[in-house]
Amino acid sequence: MATELKQHQLGHNAKWTFGRPTLHTGGAGIASWYKGSALSQHQKGGILAHLYGGAQSGDDWAAVYIPVNELKVPEFNQAQWAWYQTAAETMGLGIVIWIHDPDDFDKRAEITQVGGASGLDKAAGQNSHEFNTSTVQMFFYGENTTGTALTAGTQYSWEQFQADALFSTWTIYRISFDWGWEASGTFESVWLSQVKLQGQMIELDPSFVEYDIVTGIGNGRGVCSAAGTANQITTTTTPCKIVTFVAETDNAGAIVLGGSSIDETLASRSGVPLLAGDSVTWKIDDLSKIYIDAATTGDGVTFTFFT
């Protein structure tokens, strides 16, 4: 049993090359696993990695991390990935290759594809990219990189890293796909649907622990700005896992929550009604899917959500 569990954790094979993907964020970024509900989202995958960069200030991002079992830098030559993009952005969903000295983990570097590189799609809709090792589009930063002939922050091709006196002796310990890191603007959602590395399809399938445990928290308020009409809680895509709503304690009457077709009118009411102070907790992947309606303009709900 212990051996079987260890093999499962290492990507179903003890001699693994690529491990199980995990999600990571920084700043305003949010990430979650997602079952595509629209044709445009699930055409190319089953479980998708939903990445939301949020308002950009230079250090806001969401990413998929794929562990790599000490693959030698000169041996990595093939990568393909596909994603659905909500809106056109200044950058596309790019690859980052993380490398280190296999004998001294104090020596490491991350080699990043320029987000605005020529050929990296960044339009609204379905996008895909085939990594070209000869294109000048990669730059690095790291620690203890004495001995390289390359300059940190300067763009090179991946082939130049593979031929470098220092980096050619190092190994890859992680490959990630990063969304964000822009100086300004807002990076709307993307859904990573397919990844292929070295000819091997990477299974985008969350582990049980990562899928179920919440790691972030946020708060907000939704107001019925037009009584008798379904009002969206927020028009901004806001990934989450669980949300608790509480009807404001000074509401004049009932308020209902649900989808875009809810109706507060008693004779034709639909949705979940809450009186002042009542609460309800739901599991959902995006707050913007929830609407409220009330008999009195200005009534609303407060909420706390978990990611």
Do 69 and 192 share a domain, yes or no? yes
**pLDDT, position 8:** 44
**CB-based contacts of 265: which residues, under 8 Å, 6+ apart?**
228, 295
**pLDDT, position 38:** 66
Do 112 and 185 share a domain, yes or no? yes
Residue where a domain stops, chosen among 145, 179, 212: 212
Tokens encoding 174:
């992680």
User: The domain that contains 243 carries what CATH number?
Assistant: 2.60.120.770
**pLDDT, position 241:** 84
Better pLDDT: 288 or 8: 288
CA–CA gap between residue 85 and residue 179 (Å, rounded): 11
Asked whether the CA dihedral 149, 152, 156, 159 is positive or negative, the reply is positive
Provide mean pLDDT across the span 22-31: 90
Do 99 and 246 share a domain, yes or no? no
pLDDT of 134 above 60:
yes
Tokens encoding 17:
């090359």
CA–CA gap between residue 283 and residue 123 (Å, rounded): 31
The pair phi, psi for residue 225, each rounded to 5°, is: -85, -10
Residue where a domain stops, chosen among 212, 245, 273: 212
pLDDT of 154 above 70:
yes
Q: What domain range includes position 234? A: 217-306
CA–CA gap between residue 276 and residue 189 (Å, rounded): 34
Which of 117-121, 174-178, 190-194, 284-288: highest mean pLDDT? 174-178
Helix residue spans in the chain (DSSP H): 2-9, 39-42, 158-163, 208-212
Q: 30-53 pLDDT, tens per residue?
A: 888 887 666 566 667 778 999 999
Do 177 and 158 share a domain, yes or no? yes
pLDDT of 210 above 90:
no
The answer to whether 102 touches 127, Cβ cutoff 8 Å, is no
What distance lies between CA 124 and its chain's CA centroid?
A: 16
Of 2-11, 21-30, 229-238, 255-264, the poorest mean pLDDT is in 2-11
How many separate helices (H) and strands (E) can be counted in the chain? 4, 20
Give percent of the chain with pLDDT exceeding 70.
91
Q: Minimal CA–CA distance to 305: which of 221, 236, 248?
A: 221
Do 197 and 273 share a domain, yes or no? no
Do 92 and 202 share a domain, yes or no? yes
What confidence tier does 2 reach under pLDDT thresholds 50, 70, 90?
A: very low
Do 61 and 155 share a domain, yes or no? yes
* pTM of the predicted model as reported, rounded to 2 decimal places: 0.76
pLDDT of 296 above 70:
yes
Do 177 and 222 share a domain, yes or no? no
**pLDDT, position 257:** 95
| Mean pLDDT across the chain | 90
Q: 80-119 pLDDT, tens per residue?
A: 999 999 999 999 999 999 999 999 999 999 999 999 998 9
3-state SS, residue 274: strand
Q: Minimal CA–CA distance to 31: which of 204, 183, 172, 200?
A: 204
Do 207 and 262 share a domain, yes or no? no
What's the Rg (C-alpha) of the chain? Answer: 23
Do 157 and 225 share a domain, yes or no? no
**pLDDT, position 6:** 42
Q: 247-275 pLDDT, tens per residue?
A: 999 999 999 999 999 988 888 889 999 99
Do 180 and 267 share a domain, yes or no? no
**pLDDT, position 42:** 63
Residue where a domain stops, chosen among 155, 178, 212: 212
Instruction: Write the CA distances from 26 to 29, 34, 56, 57, integer angstroms.
Output: 5, 19, 11, 11
Of 41-45, 124-128, 143-147, 229-233, the poorest mean pLDDT is in 41-45
Do 161 and 243 share a domain, yes or no? no
Helix residue spans in 10-111 (DSSP H): 39-42
User: The domain that contains 49 carries what CATH number?
Assistant: 2.60.120
H or E segment to which residue 142 belongs: strand 138-143
**pLDDT, position 12:** 47
The answer to whether 167 touches 149, Cβ cutoff 8 Å, is no
